[in-house]
A and B are shown apart, each in its own frame.
Chain A
Amino acid sequence: MKEKIEKRLDGRKQNELREMDAKVGVVKRADGSAMFRIGKTQAIAAVYGPRALHPTFMRDPEKGILRCNYNMISFSTGERVRPGPSRRSKEISLVTENALSPVLDLKEFPNTVIDVFIELIQADAGTRCAGITAAAMALADAGLIMKDLVSAVSVGKVGKNIVVDLDKEEEDFEDGATDIPIAMTPRDGKITLLQMDGEISKEELLKAIELGKEACLKIYELQKKALKEKYI
């Protein structure tokens, strides 16, 4: 039996993503780069490296390290974002690193660093997911050895509905909204990022993750297409 579904604020279906767009090779001077847009959220990722790592105490003689930098550009939202690192951006940089490093193999590059810069030029919720999706494409474009790509999407509960890909309007829904960013490796469906802001029951969480996995596969298809399109 179909549950009663309240209509979403922008009229999308529960499992419907916003309109997406992806392009690889957008930053000429970088070793690898990609743009990913989902709805009004747009992220640009640039990869540099392997290159010399400073400060030297961070060097690992066994393998290279991954260093991510997430940044929201000051004009990316309605309210001006104060430039420079913040508590929030530091946390997101860290979870991005953790979401991407399981697929990367950096044993070939001891004592070096792979720098990933993620810039959000426009933000409308789901920025860390857009950033991770763009960064995964940029890493592949940089020719690094990766077990798999990483696709990310946010799922959540808006009012009583379990939905995928919340926009800012839904995230700020007055009757309460739960936001759950998910990143996963599309091939074996392993989750590399799972965060939550809000309240949700166990059953609903499991259902939300299932929806998120399906949505990630759709994003994966787009990532694949964008990477191949550069060489046609």
Chain B
Amino acid sequence: MTLLINEKTIVVPGEEIAEGMDYLPAQGTYRQNDKIISAQLGLVNVNGRLIRIIPLTGRYIPKAGDTVIGKVVNISFNGWIIDVGYAYEANLSLKEGTTDFVERNEDLTKYYDFGDIVVVKIINVSRSKFIDLTTKEPGLRKLNGGRIIQVTPSKVPRIIGKQGSMITMVKDATNCRITVGQNGRVWIQGENTDNEIKAVEAIRMIDEKAHIEGLTEEIKKFLGAESDKSQKIGEEDEIN
């Protein structure tokens, strides 16, 4: 009937969130008798009748449809073995990795070599968490150059923002190419190191303050202030 805890407050496992049968338990919550109880550390989110927890921490859990950044760790006879940040490695089959006709015993390193960083999409996760990947979609490719940072996977939606608003802001302000994987790996490539570092700092800031309201403004200020400062220094140089 009633919410016992307001939306967007932090709850720990075992806290009562709502009472009565009007609400339904979703991700990170469970029902005991007529109460809905949190089962995870995170923020309470109420969407219509559904109550769920937005987790604040945790490792990446693969799910079908996610675009992730992975690293080639091994090559098998029918494809590549890729580390996507889960306990077990994922499989990119030959069919999903390339459109070319591949001869028997051909050297697969000419497509993806050991240690290559790739943007891939998860097409299937089986019940025992065998992960199948594909590169046959626009935007999925091998990454060359740039740098990769690791952020908390549960905060990726905040880094991307609504319709990509947050990440577009960072891209525009720093002139960097940025790819965010759902597994919390962020690839950044800029024209110079200063721009890259600025983007890294902004993304780290979003990661740290993801649960705070008014973050967009703060990031805007951070990116704006940085560029203002560099402008000012430029002006002073001119005067001198």
Interface residues of A (CB under 8 A from B): 31-32, 49-53, 61, 103, 105, 108-112, 140-149, 185-187, 223-224, 227-228, 231
Whether A140 contacts B10 by the Cβ 8 Å rule is: no
Residues in B neighbouring A148, C-beta threshold 8 A? 13-14
- How far, in Å, is A64 (CB) from chain B's closest CB? 9
Whether A105 contacts B39 by the Cβ 8 Å rule is: yes
Residues in B neighbouring A227, C-beta threshold 8 A? 10, 12, 41
Distance between Cα atoms of A185 and B15 in the complex (Å): 12
- How far, in Å, is B20 (CB) from chain A's closest CB? 18
Residues in B neighbouring A142, C-beta threshold 8 A? 57-59
The size bracket of the interface on B is: 20 to 34
Write the B138-155 contact mask toward A (1 if CB under 8 angstroms, else 0). 000000000000000010
Q: Is the interface of A mostly helix, strand, loop or mixed?
A: loop
Residues in A neighbouring B41, C-beta threshold 8 A? 140-141, 143, 227
A-B contact count (CB 8 A): 82
- How far, in Å, is A157 (CB) from chain B's closest CB? 30
Distance between Cα atoms of A51 and B87 in the complex (Å): 4
Q: Is the interface of B mostly helix, strand, loop or mixed?
A: loop
Whether A109 contacts B39 by the Cβ 8 Å rule is: no
Whether B39 contacts A31 by the Cβ 8 Å rule is: no
Distance between Cα atoms of A163 and B58 in the complex (Å): 39
Residues in A neighbouring B40, C-beta threshold 8 A? 140, 143-146
Distance between Cα atoms of A129 and B57 in the complex (Å): 25
Residues in B neighbouring A52, C-beta threshold 8 A? 87-88
Q: Name the residue among B12, B59, B61 with the largest chain A CB count within 10 angstroms.
A: B12
Q: Which residue of B lies closest to A105 (CB)?
A: B39
Residues in A neighbouring B61, C-beta threshold 8 A? 108-109
Whether B13 contacts A31 by the Cβ 8 Å rule is: no
B162 part of interface (Cβ distance < 8 Å)? no
- How far, in Å, is B59 (CB) from chain A's closest CB? 6
Residues in B neighbouring A32, C-beta threshold 8 A? 57
- How far, in Å, is A30 (CB) from chain B's closest CB? 11
Q: Which 3 A-B pairs have the closest CB atoms?
A: A143-B58, A148-B14, A143-B57
List residues of B (179-233) whose CB comes within 8 Å of A's CBs.
Answer: 211
B163 part of interface (Cβ distance < 8 Å)? no
B55 part of interface (Cβ distance < 8 Å)? yes
- How far, in Å, is A28 (CB) from chain B's closest CB? 13
Cβ contact of B128, chosen from A53, A111, A146, cutoff 8 A:
A111
Residues in B neighbouring A145, C-beta threshold 8 A? 13, 28, 39-40
Residues in A neighbouring B15, C-beta threshold 8 A? 224
Residues in A neighbouring B28, C-beta threshold 8 A? 145
